[in-house]
Amino acid sequence: GGGEAPPPPPQGEVTFERSQEQLRAMLYKRGPGGVRGLARAMAHVSRGTGQIDRTDLDTVLGFCGVAMTPDAVNSLFARYDQGQGVVDASAMVQGLRVPLSRAQERAVLAVFETLEDPTFKTGAVEMHEVIKRYQPGRHPRVVSGDMSESEAMRELELVQEDNNRLVSREREHAASMDSLADSNQRNITNLERERSQVESELNHERTKRNEVEERLKSSLDELNKLRAEAHARAQLEADVGSRLRQAHASIADAIQAQETQLSILAEVVPQLDMVHASLLTALASEPVPVAPEASFPPPQSAPGSVYQGEQNGRESASRNSYVPQEEYA
C-alpha cells in the first residue's frame, strides 16, 4: 500500500545529493587526507569556532583544490546553514564521510585500540606502527593469488607516500591559511585605524557644523530682529505718511477756501469802489455851507471838555468834507 518513489531529478539539475557526491568524489580522489584537509582548512578559516560563512566556504574549497559551480556550493551551504548565514564545519565534514557498516565500524575501532598507545591514549596512531604490524600475506588479493606480497607492500608504501604528500600539502595550506589570516588581521587593524581616523574627522566636521549652525541661528535671530525693526519702521513711516497726506489735504482744503474767499473779495472790491465813487459824486454835487466869520476867536475850552469835543468834531467834519475848488468849476 506504499506510494511510489519520487522520480529522480532531471539530468543536470543541481541538487544537494548530487553536489555532496561530487564534493565527496573530489576529496576522496585526493586520498585519505582529502576530507581531513577540508576539516583542517575549515578550522583555520573559522579561527577554531567551527562556524564559516558562504565566502569562507569558497576560500576553503579553493585551498583544497575543489572547483564547483556556485549553484552546487549554494545547495551545500543551504543544507548545512543553521539559519544565521553560517554552517557547522563538523556537521558538513561528517556528512562528507562515507558511512561505515556496523561490522566495519567495530573492526576499525578494534584495530585503532590495538595500535593506539595504551599509556597516553592520544586518540591517534603512528603510521610506522601501522606499517610495522601490516601483514601483506593476509591481504585479500594476496590470498586469492591476484597480487603478491611485495605488490601489496608496495601498494601500502604508495599509500604512505600519497599520505605524506597530502600531509605536506596540508601543512602548506595551513601555513597559507595562517598567512592569509594574519594578512586579514592586519587589514582589519588598518581598517579599524582608518575607521577611527574617519570617525575623528567626522566628529570634527560635526563640531564645525554645529558651530556654523549656531552662528547661522544667531544670524537668523539678528535678521529676524532687523526685520521686525524694519517692519515697525515701515509701519511708523506709513502712519507718518498717512498723517502727512491728511495734513496736506487739510492745507489744500484751507488754500482752496482762501482762494474762494479771495475770489469773492475780488468780486466785492470793484463793487465797493463803485459805491465809493458814487458817494464821492453825491458829496460833490451838494453845496458846502459857509459859516459866518466870527468877530472874535472862540473861547478856549479846557482839554477834554464837551465844548472842545464838539469843536474838534466840527473841524474834523469840515476837513473830511473839503472838496477842491476845481470840482465846483
Tell me the pLDDT tens digit for each residue of 111-138: 888 888 778 777 788 877 788 888 888 8
Residue 63: is its pLDDT beyond 90?
no
Q: Which residues pair with 51 in a beta bridge?
A: 88
CA dihedral 172→176→181→186, nearest 10 degrees, is 130
Helices (H), 134-148: 140-143
Report d(CA 50, CA 1) in Å as an integer: 45
**For domain 12-98, which architecture applies?**
Orthogonal Bundle (1.10)
Tell me the pLDDT tens digit for each residue of 243-280: 999 999 999 999 999 999 999 988 898 888 889 889 98
Q: Where are the domains of the chain?
A: 12-98
Report d(CA 59, CA 73) in Å as an integer: 12
34 — pLDDT class (breaks 50, 70, 90): confident
Cell (9 digits) for 168 = 605536506
158 — pLDDT class (breaks 50, 70, 90): confident
| Single pTM value for the model | 0.40
Report d(CA 299, CA 302) in Å as an integer: 10
- pLDDT for 228: 93
Cell (9 digits) for 145 = 593469488
Tell me the pLDDT tens digit for each residue of 40-61: 888 888 887 889 999 999 988 8
Cell (9 digits) for 289 = 455851507
Helix (H) / strand (E) containing 102: helix 102-115
